[in-house]
Each structure stands twice: as C-alpha cells, then as structure tokens.
Structure 1
C-alpha cells in the first residue's frame, strides 16, 4: 500500500528537530565543580608510631607491719595527692608514740635535776666547800642526761614516723589500679606493690623520628639548647585527630644505632583521661611558627610534559590553563608556592570535559552555582 505523501514531511521534520536538540545539548557549556584557592598552614604529613606514657607512675608499698584495716578507693578511679588510700591498724603504733613521749618527759626531768646539782656544786666550789672533782662529776652527769633527752626525742620522732606510715597516701594526682590485698590481711614491707597510681594529666607521647628529620628541624631553629618550639599532633587508633596539640619537651640524647632514629616526647593535656598509658597513636610534627600558604585540592592539580598546572575560572566562566609550582602534599591538598592567588577558583571535577579557553557551567562541591 503506498505511503501517503503527507507522512514524509512529518518524519523529516521530526528528524530535523532531533538533530537540532542534540546539537544544542552538545554546544551547552559543560558542568564542572570548582573550589576556591585558600590559605592554610601546611604541616608535614609524615606519621610516626607513638606510644602514650605516664608522666609519673608510683608503686605503693607498706613500710610498717600490721593488719590492713581500710582500702579507701575504687579501682580505676581518680585520686588526688594526699588521699589516704590504705590504713593499717594504728593502736600499737599510737602506744609506741605515747611510750616514747613519756620517755622524753622522764629524760627531761632527770636532766633538769642534774642541772640543779651542777649549779649547786659550782656555788660550793666558789666557797671552797667542795673540790673540783665533784663539779666535774656533776657536769658529766648533766651531759649524759642531756644526751638521754636527745635520744628519747629521736625515739619519739621514729615512733611518730612509723605511726604516719600506717596511712598510705597518694603521692600524686592520677588514676589507681586494682589493690593486690584486701582489708583484714597482715601486710609489711615484704608484701610487694599494693597498688599503682599513674598520672594522666598531662600525659606524654613518645615517638622516634629519623636523624634527617631532626637535622631539618634544628636548621629551622625549632630545637635549640635553650628552647624547643616544636609541637606535635596525634591521631587515635580510629583515625580521628586528638583535640589539642602537644608541646615537644624532650629530645633524645643519642641516636639508636639499629634504626637511626631519635626519641622525642611531647606533653599533651588530658583532662578527660582519653589518652591512656600504653596506648598507640600516630604522631605528626607541627611547626608552631609555620606561616600560611596557598593550597588547592589534590584533584585540581594536573601534570603534563610542561609541568604542573590547574584550570582557573575567570569572571566569564571561562577556564584557563595556569602553570603552578607545588610544595608539600598533605591531607588531600597541595601546597602552591607560585602561580595562583588566594580567592581564585580552580576546577576540581569535570576536567575531562574541558580545555584551555572553554566556557563552563561552574558549581561548588554542594552543587550550588558559583557567583
């Protein structure tokens, strides 16, 4: 059956319409994602294995013998300097103090009597009623009695010290672990460690850097005999960054020959106890005096035979190839030492659709059109 002549023009018209639409779509400015050139402090990305260590760690031990009457702490809790953690029976030691105090009183009374005898004999010697030998004997007796007073006072002091040892107190602020003994047991100096108190705030992180790294930071003046200007930051085992930076307070005195590394220690504030002794972390050196420099996202940087370049967007939404010089790479960004200015916009996605001089439709990372 012959096709009506009226159909052919319609088909032809549809074909022309489809071709025109395709051409319009091809000629539209391609969409790209852009980012703003920003200024930031670029720090080294070199990570070092670090271990958290306590600033102070004290093992508590008994110094006198007796029945342990009290254990006054919860294992794992925070304790303060001076808190009474253990108390040993005090009755015997209080009695020793009382006895020693009585001995001091008796010795002082005896010495007072000797002094009276000595003075009387000295008066009699002046009158010629007693020979010199009697005065000499009285003087010797008085000296012995004074020595007995000193000896009694020393015994009293020792008794008071032993009484004080019946209360075992915390020598520092920190956390305390489990007690190795329970109340009711007899303990003495041979009982070993009763518990351990560990300081947690501030806390140290120890890590080792290469000899070359140490030479580099010394050349920058960050480590000197009179001051250390070097800081450190750490990442926890889950990859998150610890909230505050730490101050490097110690530089090792020798290079480890097996690894050619030197120990550094940094002090970190740890008010909530998030860092625990023995914990592993990733440590990064931080130059406290570093100045801000320009950075661009890593995805913006391109490389060809002529070197590194980026595509910069102008105010007419046209992109231009811009050669740049780069510095360090860190945290998904590149440091730009020359070729760009802060506030310029560079293409970070859609690079395969553009070329030098192309007009684009720019949006930011959230998909919103840029101004």
Structure 2
C-alpha cells in the first residue's frame, strides 16, 4: 500500500528535535510506499522475552528511530522529465541532477520547516537554498532562453522542490516557470504529454507503484522496495513506456517513520527500531486507524522487528494528534513522516 501524501499545513506544527535520525539513501507518498516485511526479519524478536516493559516518557522533543530492517519502501525525491524534452535538451537532466546531489532528508526537513512553520514562501525558500548550497550553475547561457515548465503537486514540499528546480534552470538561462497542477492523477498525464509541463519533482517508490498499477492493474506485484537501485530500475522501465525519463535520485526521502521522545530514546539508548525491540516490549503505538492492518505499520513492526504492543491508539497519520500524544507520554511510539518540517523546529 502507498500512503496518501498529506497537504502540508500552513499553521505552525509541534516542535520535534532537530537531531532526528532519519532513514536515508538506499536503505520507502505522502504517503510513502510500503512493502510487506521481508524474509530477512530482525532477530530482535528472540530478545523480546528479555526486554522490559518501558513506560512512555513525556518530552517536547521527538526523535525518529532508524528503520534498520528497511520495513518502509524507499521514497527518494527524484526528477521526472518528459522523455522528448530530455532528448531534445541533453543538458536538462544534468542540471536537475545537481539538485539531487545536494539534497538530503535533513535539508528537506529544513526546507519544509521554513515554509510550513516559519511561513516563508516556497519561492523565497527555494532561492535561498539554491544560493546557500551553490547549486546554481556558473554558465548562464545553456538554456538560451528556452521555456520550460516545472509541475508541482498541491502541497508545499512539492512546490518548494519545483521552485528549486526552476531557480537552477533560470540560472542556466532557461525561461523556467512553476505550474501547480493538483495531484498525481492530474499532473502525470500532463508530464507524459509534455506540452503543459516538462519536469516534476517526484518520489521514486510512490511513482513506481503508481505506474506499475496503471500498467499492470490494481493487484500488480509491487516493484518498489527498500532497495533504492532496484526501485529506480523498475521506475525507469515503467517510465520509459509512459514517455518519461528520470534524473538521479536524491538522498532526501519523504516516507513513513516512527518516533519516540528524545527523553525515552536517551533513557534506553535507542537509535534504531532494532534497539527499541531489544530494550522494550509492551509498547503503546499511536497512528492512523489503518495502521493495525497496513504491512508497513503495526503488522510490519511486529514481524520485521519482533516488537509487541500492549495497546494501540487510533490518532492520525503523522499529524498533530500523534505528535502531541508522544510529547504528553500517552504513547511510546508514533507514526510520523520523515520530512516533516517540525523535525527541525526548536
């Protein structure tokens, strides 16, 4: 299953620790894609009998525990490009790849904080980031004034990424604009046609499964996994049939993640979900009500990590209810999103 990518709220969100430990690189839309737990499940379940029952510890600061068994499907930010536009302009993808090379999850969290918490515009935040990272090319004539339109979905992270692409392309001499075209069902046909938009910031795992189901039916065998290279290979093949090509995936991910309070993590010396399974059992899990059935959520945590839960609280998927319940000590483990701007809020 693929989680639905939520709209980023404009209102301030609850503060989380800036030092959150995030899953990066090759190790799972809004809503991130998810996979069924693999056969290589953690052996932490064997230590479950010896693990203690650990009560929640209230704390305003939260940290994300690393998904070291790769329960989640990779969902790295990746530039999706109309294939005809890329063929006509060989330098286009290389410019977008310069963004991927500079972008990681910590940077994405900071970008989202600037927009969603600090209330800056996506265009201003993008321009500041491009300048600070030195991503803009020194050669300003490559685009020769050619028009190019970057599509963005209707949530702030996509708008910010689209504006970053546009800023880099403008610096290279393109007449670049950002066009907001709703959800994937609306913008993907426009990208495939290549007349209204030619580039979109996408998410590798989620798009791979979207194209997979479009081509092979709703019950198609999943092609996205916790393996970034394999997921991008599947995405590239499916994209070619749809008239799309892709740049290099960035290290930045927007995917499901699980958080505890910083005080709880420090008390039990936790950095990974395997650490949690070895130290604690009988946890109280908080997430959206669908978590009890989704393979990336409670069933996956039980199978891949051997975690046990004494209670489940139906709250929201990575939203303020779950984060508040963690902070107030009502739950010990909560579902959040890895690029949530609140992860950088102090």
Shared fold, TM over 0.5: no
Bigger relative CO (Cα 8 Å, ≥ 6 apart): 2
Higher share in helix? 2
Higher share in strand? 1
Task: Pick the structure with greater CA Rg.
Answer: 1
Give TM-score scaled by structure 1 length.
Answer: 0.22
Give TM-score scaled by structure 2 length.
Answer: 0.23
